[in-house]
Structure 1
């Protein structure tokens, strides 16, 4: 009888040790449908604004039941387009400039990445997220709100481009720009389907 009890205890200890590195709350990864999701950018300047799209290369959200717990996204920076200008109105010139080293330097930095580091529920479908955003090989923390409804999620981020060595047209680095100044912050509106 003692032998059977010792064997059972030994089996439990081994089973516990074998699963010690596994976190049962890792949750379920839901892959984002990149072709059905959109990332819209909007940049502001003294004399107006421009906006367009950037393609999502990959993405996933992590859930524990129906609660959002994490996420990771990669954006194809070479796909950046301008949506408020038609061909012949400077659309191609602006798209080329956004891809150049003055801005996102897509030849050397083809992708940007966002990794959630903290997710806090603020309501039934709303979350306060902190994440590491990497642009041009530079990683900085960003905070934003995200809402999740069924198989859809929406987030809006405000990004200070100067944190990522994008100084072109910034009044923080020259005061001779006057009406050609470009504001440091730009917006990203992300609509996800998963």
Structure 2
């Protein structure tokens, strides 16, 4: 679905942050990581990674309100670096990945929040449950990558409650609040 979006024009000039129009970027799953971290009974703060993100970022430097993001995260790519725990997370006790194979985020509003910062409000869907989420975003860099493709990089953070998405097993002993950190790089695909 996301790959059918029409790509906008490239950067107005190499090395500048100004755009003539919104630019549409395809997320690079090799340079995108979504990390979730929580408290485990107060003893430790384990983390889990969601890889293979598929998504589209539209960024308009002159009118950030015209920017948007849509991302899909396949739950098959969850990785806590412990195979048995990964199986449990994918089970019906938590994400029920057989029934709900992916999570998604779609922005509803993008606002400037200071120099190089954005506030992105959107809808997060996990297990078929959609809730509003606000991402605090930092623009890392806009320019060309090694392949001479216009590229953009962002970091973002938010905190969600597991119980809001019916993945609250053991809450509140295992913290209901989960801190999410996202780092992503996205490029304008080369013309075929």
TM-score by length of 1: 0.74
Alpha-carbon offset, residue 164 of structure 1: 0.6
Higher relative helix content: 1
- Quote the residue 2:148 is aligned against: none
Q: Distance in 1 between matches of 2:92 and 2:130?
A: 17
User: Are 1:182 and 2:174 an aligned pair?
Assistant: yes
Of 45, 61, 68 in structure 2, the residue corresponding to residue 70 of structure 1 is 68
Alpha-carbon offset, residue 26 of structure 1: 8.0
Q: Which range moves more in the overlay, 52-61 or 182-191?
A: 52-61
Alpha-carbon offset, residue 56 of structure 1: 3.3
RMSD (Å), alpha carbons: 1.8
Of 44, 50, 56 in structure 2, the residue corresponding to residue 48 of structure 1 is 44
What residue ranges of structure 2 are gaps of 5+ in the alignment?
1-19, 143-151, 187-192
Q: Distance in 2 between matches of 1:153 and 1:166?
A: 27
Q: Is the 8 A contact 2:32 2:53 kept in 1?
A: no
Q: Distance in 2 between matches of 1:67 and 1:60?
A: 18
Q: Give the greater-gyration-radius structure (CA).
A: 1
Q: Distance in 2 between matches of 1:55 and 1:74?
A: 10
What residue ranges of structure 1 are gaps of 5+ in the alignment?
1-24, 84-90, 172-180
- Quote the residue 1:30 is aligned against: 25
- Quote the residue 1:81 is aligned against: 79
Alpha-carbon offset, residue 103 of structure 1: 0.8
Of 108, 116, 138 in structure 2, the residue corresponding to residue 117 of structure 1 is 108
Q: Using a 3 Å threshold, how does the CA distance of structure 1 residues 71 and 114 change in structure 2: closer, same or farther?
A: same
Alpha-carbon offset, residue 82 of structure 1: 0.8
